[in-house]
Amino acid sequence: MSNIVEINGLYKSYENGNIKALNGIDLTIKEGEFVSIIGPSGSGKSTLLNMLGALDLPDKGSIKVAGYDLLSNKKLNEFRSQKIGFVFQLHNLIPNLSVVENIEIPMFTSKMSNSEMRSRALELLDIVDLKDKASLKPSKLSGGERQRVAIARSLANNPSIILADEPTGSLDSKTSTKILKQLIDLHKHEHVTLIVVTHDMDVAKLADRTIEVLDGKLVNAGDDSLLEDKINVE
Amino acid sequence: MSFLKFIIKNPFRRKNSAILSIVGICIGIIVIVALGGITQGLVSTFEDTIHAGGADFSISGTETGDSAYGTNTISANWTDTIANVSGVDEAYAIYVVLVPIGDDYMNTLIGIDPNGTDLADISLTDGRMFRDNSSEVILGEVYANDNNISVGDNILIKNEEFEVVGIYETGDQNMAGGVFTSISKVGELMDDSDSISNIYVKVKKGVDPQSVADRIDELYGDNITTITSVMEMEQMGTMLNTLEAASWGISLLAIVVGGLGIINTMLMSVFERTREIGVLKAVGWSNKKILTMIVGESLVITIVSAIIGSIIGVVATYALVPMMGLTPVFTAKIFIQAFLIAIIVGIVGGIYPALKAVKLPPTEALRYE
């Protein structure tokens, strides 16, 4: 399997350098891998995820995701639209649109016709077992159902990678398990690379590999050889 | 769902705010449409009454000679003189006299060549045109209705019996209550074939009526004048300019007030939807698409306002203005102006909030509480 993520010497700081969010990260992730990123609050794990999704850019270093060099590429919205699917801690669904219309939102960037968009959205709702709720407004759904709609939305444009930031953070444990199972099933069946940021070790354990971030540094790459390399370098 | 449908749906998420914006812009549009209708109505009335019917201008004497009934007259020879002035296409004399007609002790009898009735801007609604030098008349609709006379009836004019051969309509209220016959017959009735009241003049196609009128004044200004109509046209022009300036003033006010209202509504909307804008960026929407969405939403509000405002403006003007004795006239130009203003307000009001939305860094937008 080839690398879908290649990060070298990634630095990012905020507030004129006073807050060092990323402090020299090196990381590779293989295509089709399920990777969890753990670490305490403020460790830099969400910043790393934002970098992977081109929502933010580093101060220094190189970052290549799904063949895109994010520092030199100017069409980052095109990259996000075609290669990345985001799942947030809060579902962030648009309240005045129906469930099916919410899933169509990312497809506005594609060249799909209205009927193709509708058919794709219903297909995705079928995958997350919510086809019967297609015409409902998000307010009529439970928290877990809304998150499943958000997962369906993340898959709208057949992304190469799903980036999930605390996807079960606002859910009870029973619903969390169901949501995770759904994400993992999708990762397996759709052959999507899944990268999940979490502080929940039970969630992290389900991944093929767990990466630990502390003070903006990778303290555990989840791969002994990589970690040894890193230690030797330092 | 299409992108357009999404844009149309969005502004009505915050119904109260959208309604308030619509009401604000609607008021501006109502005023613009109503004022436009009134201005056009005034133009139409002025044109009907001043513009000498279908003629470009009319000529009367500078001094005379009063006729038997107090109507000023000039020599009939002036008709041929004026017809020969460069630029003049047609010149027809009219002879207006006040005589006993039917039961009226005094009414207006207008004599004109049957071929020149087009210049008097009268059109037959019933019957036919009178023949030259015959005892035939056509009656104005108002006169015919008031006296319950129809085609085929006879009426007495200055003790001579005339047959009513037609009924005409005209925008000129004075003519609508009068009676037309041939000018030669009026001369015969008045025993004065050498006098006329006015000359209706139509200039050749492509020629400026004002320049012809000026030429006539220059050549024959000592005896005849076009000044009356020119002055009235100038007065009308000044009045219309004032009304037009008022209309644009109100339009400008509508743009400013409506623009501020829409900026406020759209800014509130952008702030409330900060996280949503972050999501749209995260799913790959370009800045151009987000800008189009916000400006589009602003345009939806202003165009809805323009539609509602135009309807209310027309209905209210038709309901209220006739009480002032004026018939409003709505032309396409009025609605184009109203919609153009609505579109300007929509774009101006939407662009600043849209730029705010575009400049939001996605990570900050997604963190927004």
ipTM given for this complex: 0.86
**Section B302-311 average pLDDT:** 93
Q: How confident is residue A223, by pLDDT bands cut at 50, 70 and 90? A: low
* Closest chain A residue to the Cα of B293, Cα to Cα: A108
Do A135 and A100 contact (CB within 8 A), yes or no?
Answer: yes
Would you say residue B305 has pLDDT above 50? yes
Find residue B99's DSSP bridge partners: B107
- Residues from chain B that touch A97, judged by Cβ atoms under 8 A, are 1, 6, 9
On chain B, the residues whose CB falls within 8 A of the CB of A56 are 361-363
Of B2, B12, B284, the CB nearest to A81: B284
Contact B289 A108 (CB under 8 A): yes
Answer yes or no: do B272 and B347 share one domain: yes
DSSP 3-state percent helix, strand, coil across chain B (nearest 5): 60, 20, 20
Question: pLDDT category, B173, cuts 50, 70, 90?
Answer: low
Q: Residue B247: is its pLDDT beyond 80?
A: no
Partner-chain contact A109 B275, CB within 8 Å? no
When pLDDT is averaged across residues A199-207 and rounded to a whole number, the result is 84
In a domain, B232, yes or no: no
CB contact under 8 A, A108 and B285: yes
Q: Please, which pLDDT band fits residue B233 given cuts at 50, 70 and 90?
A: low
Q: Is residue B166 part of a domain?
A: yes
Structure confidence at residue A62 as a pLDDT band (50, 70, 90): very high
Same domain, B211 and B67: yes
Q: Which position has the higher pLDDT, B178 or B243?
A: B178
Closest residue in A to B9 (Cα) is A96
CB contact under 8 A, A82 and B9: no
**Nearest CA-CA partner of B155 in B96, B190, B113, B104:** B104
Look at A88 and B286 and tell me if their CB atoms are within 8 Å. Answer: no
Which residues of chain B are within 8 Å of residue A103 when distances are taken between CB atoms?
none
Query: What digits encode the pLDDT tens for the residues A170-184?
Result: 777 777 888 888 888
The pLDDT tens digits of the residues spanning B234-246 come to: 666 777 777 777 7
Shared-domain flag, residues B187 and B297: no
A55/B285 Cβ within 8 A: no
Decide if pLDDT at A234 tops 70: no
Question: Domain-by-domain residue ranges, chain A?
Answer: 34-40+78-228
Give the Cα separation of A124 and A186 in Å (integer).
10
If you average pLDDT over residues A31-57, what whole number do you get?
90
Task: Say whether residue B367 is in contact with chain A using an 8 A CB cutoff.
Answer: no
Taking a C-beta distance cutoff of 8 angstroms, is the pair B317, B38 a contact? yes
The number of domains in chain B is: 2
| Chain A stretch 112-131, residues whose beta carbon is closer than 8 A to a beta carbon of chain B | 114, 117-118
Q: Which of B227, B262, B278 is the C-terminal boundary of a domain?
A: B227
**Cα B295 from Cα B348, distance rounded (Å):** 9
What whole-number distance in Å separates Cα of residue B300 and Cα of residue B18? 10
Domain assignment of residue B52, yes or no: no
Lookup: tokens for B167 = 């009924």
Co-location of B214 and B284 in the same domain: no
Residues B75 and B197 in one domain: yes
Mark whether B37 and B144 lie in a shared domain.
no
Query: Residue A25: which H helix or E strand, with range?
Result: strand A19-30
pLDDT surpasses 60 at B231: no
Is the same domain home to B312 and B356?
A: yes
Average pLDDT, chain B: 83
pLDDT in tens, B37-67: 887 877 776 665 554 457 778 887 765 444 3
Portion of chain A with pLDDT greater than 70, in percent: 94
Interface of A with B in 169-228 (CB under 8 A): none
Whether chain A has a CB inside 8 Å of the CB on B4: the answer is: no
A55 with B284: Cβ contact below 8 A: no
Q: Are residues B295 and B199 in the same domain?
A: no
pLDDT of residue A92: 82
Q: Which residues of A touch B281 (CB under 8 A)?
A: 55, 77, 80
Q: Which domain holds residue B283?
A: 3-47+238-366
Contact A80 B361 (CB under 8 A): no
The answer to whether residue B153 sits within a structural domain is: yes
Q: Which band of pLDDT confidence, cut at 50, 70 and 90, is reported for residue B69?
A: very low
Q: Chain B within 8 Å of A48 (Cβ-Cβ)? A: no
**Which of the residue ranges A66-70, A99-103, A111-115, A219-223 would you say has the lowest mean pLDDT?**
A219-223
State the best of A94, A102, A165 to mutate against chain B, taking most chain B CBs within 10 Å: A94
Q: In chain B, positions 241-280, which contact chain A (CB-CB < 8 Å)?
A: 275-276, 278-280
d(CA B170, CA B187): 24
Domain check: are B41 and B173 in the same one? no
Instruction: Identify all chain A residues contacting B363, using CB atoms and an 8 Å cutoff.
Output: 50, 55-56
Q: Among the listed ranges B26-35, B64-73, B185-194, B233-242, which one has the minimum average pLDDT value?
A: B64-73
* Contact assessment for residue B138 and residue B95, using Cβ atoms and an 8 Å cutoff: no
What pLDDT score does A107 carry? 93
What pLDDT score was predicted for residue B166? 95
Topology of A34-40+78-228 in CATH? Rossmann fold (3.40.50)
| pTM (2 d.p.) | 0.66
Angle between helices B227-272 and B15-50 (to 10 degrees): 170
Decide if B285 and A96 are in contact by the 8 Å CB cutoff. Answer: no
Backbone dihedral angles phi then psi of residue A193, each to the nearest 5 degrees: -70, 130
Is residue B212 in some structural domain? yes
Q: Is the pLDDT confidence value at A227 over 60?
A: no
| Residue B314 included in any domain | yes
